[in-house]
C-alpha cells in the first residue's frame, strides 16, 4: 500500500553538502527526490543511488539555476517523472574567495546575484506554478536555504554572499504571504557555520573548524543537522508554519 504521507521533493544543488544530506534524509522517510545538479554528475548519480538504496524513488536532472530555461526544464522533468511535487528545496548557491567589497570584481558580483538571488527567484517562480493545491489537501512546501550571514553581514569576507542571502530572507517573507491562499508554505533555514564543501569553494577549506571554535557550541554544524530542519519544514509537522526564518547556527 502506498504511504499517504510520502512526498516528492525537488532539491536544487543536491549533489553535495546540505542538498545531498536533505535528499538522503528524505529517502529515509520514504520520500521520492528529484535531484538537481549543475556540473558534478557523478556525485548527483551517487546521491540518487543512495536514495534508491533506501527504498525511495530518485531521478537526476542537470541544470544551472542561474539560467531560467534550465530551471524550467528541471521542473518539467521532475513533474514528468513523478507526476506531482509536494515540496521544493531551493538549496543551490555559491560563495567566492574572502575579500572586502572594494576588491570584488563586476564578474564576481554578477555571478553571486545571478546564482543566489535570480536563481532562487527562477526556482520559486516554477514552484509557484506547480505546487498550488486545494486548502482541503496537505499543504505544499517551498524551503529556501538562506544563511546566518544574512544577519551577520560577513564583513571582510563575503558581504556579497551575505547580501544575496538577505534577499532570500525578504523573498521568503513576501512569498509566504503571496502563496498562502494556494496552500503553499514558504520558509527558510539559515545555517550558521557548517562543515560542508562550500568553504573550499570560497578558498578556505579549514574555515569551519577554525571559526567553529568561536561558536557558542564550540564547533561547526553539520549538513545533517541542517537537513533535519529543512525536512521538518517540508513535512506536515510544520503545517501551520510559514514565513519563518529558522536559524541552525549553534547560537552564533
183-238 pLDDT tens trace? 999 999 999 987 766 545 555 666 666 666 678 888 889 999 999 999 999 999 99
**pLDDT value of residue 204:** 61
Q: Which residues of the chain are modeled with pLDDT < 70? A: 1-4, 196-213
Q: State whether residue 197 is helix, strand or coil.
A: coil
For the segment(s) 8-248, the CATH number from 3.40.50.2000, 1.20.120.530, 1.20.1290.10, 3.40.50.720 is 3.40.50.720
Name the H helices within the chain: 17-28, 41-53, 68-82, 106-113, 119-130, 149-152, 159-179, 198-201, 207-212, 223-234
- What is the C-alpha separation between 110 and 113, in angstroms, rounded? 5
Q: Examine the residue annotation and report whether 161 is marked as an active-site residue of this protein.
A: yes
pTM for the whole thing?
0.93
User: What pLDDT shows up at residue 210?
Assistant: 63
Pick from 119, 71, 68: which is nearest to 91 by CA? 119
User: What is the 3-class SS of 6-67, one letter each residue?
Assistant: CCEEEECCCCCHHHHHHHHHHHHCCCEEEEEECCCHHHHHHHHHHHHHCCCCEEEEECCCCC
CA dist., res. 109 & res. 244, Å (int): 28
* Predicted pLDDT at 105: 98
| Nearest Cα to Cα of residue 93 among 174, 204, 11 | 11
Between CA 133 and CA 182 the distance in angstroms is: 6
Catalytic-role residue among 37, 158, 161, 240: 161
Question: What does the pLDDT read at residue 178?
Answer: 98
For the chain, how long is the longest CA-to-CA vector? 59
pLDDT of residue 208: 63
Amino acid at each position: 500500500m502506498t504511504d499517504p504521507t510520502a512526498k516528492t521533493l525537488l532539491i536544487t544543488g543536491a549533489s553535495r553538502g546540505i542538498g545531498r544530506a536533505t535528499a538522503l534524509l528524505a529517502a529515509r522517510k520514504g520520500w521520492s527526490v528529484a535531484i538537481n545538479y549543475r556540473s558534478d554528475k557523478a556525485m548527483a548519480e551517487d546521491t540518487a543511488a543512495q536514495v534508491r538504496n533506501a527504498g525511495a524513488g530518485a531521478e537526476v536532472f542537470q541544470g544551472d539555476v542561474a539560467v531560467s530555461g534550465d530551471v524550467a526544464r528541471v521542473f518539467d522533468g521532475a513533474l514528468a517523472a513523478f507526476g506531482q511535487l509536494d515540496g521544493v528545496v531551493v538549496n543551490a548557491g555559491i560563495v567566492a574567495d574572502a575579500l572586502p567589497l572594494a576588491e570584488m570584481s563586476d564578474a564576481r558580483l554578477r555571478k553571486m546575484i545571478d546564482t543566489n538571488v535570480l536563481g532562487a527567484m527562477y526556482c520559486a517562480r516554477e514552484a509557484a506554478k506547480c505546487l498550488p493545491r486545494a486548502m482541503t489537501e496537505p499543504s505544499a512546501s517551498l524551503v529556501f536555504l538562506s544563511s546566518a550571514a544574512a544577519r551577520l553581514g560577513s564583513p571582510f569576507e563575503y558581504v556579497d554572499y551575505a547580501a544575496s542571502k538577505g534577499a532570500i530572507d525578504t523573498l521568503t517573507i513576501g512569498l509566504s504571504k503571496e502563496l498562502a491562499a494556494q496552500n503553499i508554505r514558504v520558509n527558510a533555514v539559515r545555517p550558521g557555520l557548517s562543515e560542508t564543501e562550500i568553504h573550499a569553494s570560497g578558498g578556505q577549506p579549514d574555515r569551519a573548524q577554525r571559526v567553529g571554535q568561536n561558536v557558542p557550541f564550540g564547533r561547526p554544524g553539520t549538513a545533517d543537522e541542517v537537513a533535519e530542519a529543512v525536512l521538518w519544514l517540508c513535512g506536515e509537522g510544520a503545517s501551520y508554519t510559514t514565513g519563518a526564518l529558522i536559524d541552525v547556527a549553534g547560537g552564533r
